[in-house]
Amino acid sequence: MALDTSSDAYVEFDRVQKSYDGEILVVKDLNLAMPKGEFLTMLGPSGSGKTTCLMMLAGFETATHGEIRLDGREINNIPPHKRGIGMVFQNYALFPHMTVNENLSFPLEVRGMGKDEREAKVARALDMVQMGEFGNRRPAQLSGGQQQRIALARALVFDPSLVLMDEPLGALDKQLREHMQYEIKHLHENLGITVVYVTHDQSEALTMSDRVAVFNDGRIQQLAPPDDLYERPDNSFVAQFIGENNKLTGTVKSKMGDAVQVELPGGATTEALAVNAGEVGSKTLISVRPERIEVATDGPNATDAQVKELIYLGDHIRCRLNVHGNDDFIVKVPNSAGHTHLKVGETTKVSWATEDARALDPL
């Protein structure tokens, strides 16, 4: 869903910066454009700038520099209640003294909507989240998952074209959180709304999003669909933050088209895609996903490995190996009869295809 020009953008950050103290930038020259109807997740560790970006878009924080546009209109100086944006928070932010119906009716009253229309919209929003029978209850009479559904319904009740969600599932248990991920995804698909979603949970981002913006240190490290981020990370931060990743450090010996030959500690060589490898003679970091590695084979890029630990996980065995000085080299071995003979302490071989290894960040 990449955009060809900024004129196609529904939500747009143009050279946006944010500083709270006038010195340290928590958001640095952010340029981001997303089309109408997209589900975009801002993903990153605490302090990476993702929530600050969401709060600037909502109007609760002001950009220090740059423009934020919604449907082509600059909104920097428009107050939050006039932006027409739905918002869902982690702590639900429901009014405890109001019933569910009253909570949902409130944003409609603020907009001057008549009683009959309010009641129809409240009933419709509650039906969207399968909470139609709970209208007369107060928030304290609901479970956490039910309260989050009501918070979601309240964000949708006035038919906003843009909904912002800040860690909305963070307070829920794992099973309910995963269930709500699919519910939110299906609501997005059915309603065609534009969603900007903030989380630090990479599996949540991969499950729900059309595109994911990976933040670190106030900048977007990579903006891409989930499968691109996982299969083709641009740098070691993205490779490490999205899913599980093995790292090997070596020296670039030669370049051959899209590939590089890298000498590993101990003198062995391996080939990898030259994503951002640096010049011949420089150090580089190689990234290989655990599920792309073969054990006990003499395949391409084969090298010695010592088995340090085996953990049985049902459908696969998690093997921790020592490979060229890396004691935390992880391989996921399918649970089949041909692979159960591995023993802790023994030496074996590991191998991987050149296209599954990525030479990232020069060191």
Taking only the tens place, the pLDDT of each residue in 43-76 is 999 999 999 999 999 999 999 999 999 999 999 9
d(CA 33, CA 318): 40
- Strand ranges, E, within the chain: 11-19, 25-34, 39-43, 65-70, 73-74, 85-89, 162-166, 194-199, 211-216, 219-224, 246-256, 259-263, 269-274, 283-288, 294-295, 303-312, 316-323, 326-334, 347-351, 357-362
**pLDDT of 350 over the 60 cut:** yes
Count Cβ neighbours within 10 Å for each residue of 315-350 and write b for 16 or more, e otherwise. ebbebebebbebeebbbbbeeeeebeebeeeeebeb
Helix extents (H) in the chain = 50-58, 100-110, 115-128, 144-156, 174-191, 202-208, 226-231, 236-241
CA–CA separation, 75 vs 69, rounded Å?
A: 6
Q: What is the pTM of this model?
A: 0.87
Rg (CA), the chain: 25
Please say if the pLDDT value at position 124 is more than 60: yes
* pLDDT of amino acid 256: 85
Phi, psi (deg, nearest 5) at residue 303: -150, 160
Between 55 and 298, name the one with better pLDDT. Answer: 55
pLDDT at 20: 93
Residue 1 is predicted with a pLDDT of 43
- Domain residue extents for the chain: 6-237, 246-362
Q: How far apart are CA 46 and CA 158, in angstroms?
A: 31
Residue 197 pLDDT > 90 = yes
Mean pLDDT score of the chain = 90
Higher pLDDT, 266 or 28: 28
Which amino acid is it at 241? F
Residues 301/248, Cβ–Cβ less than 8 Å: no
Please give the share of the chain, as a percent, with pLDDT higher than 90. Answer: 61
Provide the CATH number for the domain formed by 246-362 in this structure. Answer: 2.40.50.140
pLDDT of 338 reads 55
Which CATH superfamily hosts domain 6-237? P-loop containing nucleotide triphosphate hydrolases (3.40.50.300)
Region of 289 (left: φ > 0; alpha: ψ -120 to 50; beta: rest) is: beta
Q: What is the pLDDT of residue 210?
A: 96
Mean pLDDT in residue range 280-306: 89
Cβ-proximal residues to 124 (8 Å cutoff; 6+ apart), any chain: 157
Please check the confidence at residue 219 and state whether its pLDDT lies above 90.
yes
The alpha carbon torsion through 207, 212, 214, 215 (nearest 10 deg) reads -110
The answer to whether residues 270 and 285 touch, using CB atoms and an 8 Å cutoff, is: no
Q: At what angle do helices 115-128 and 144-156 cross, to 10 degrees?
A: 130
Work out the average pLDDT over 120-138.
91
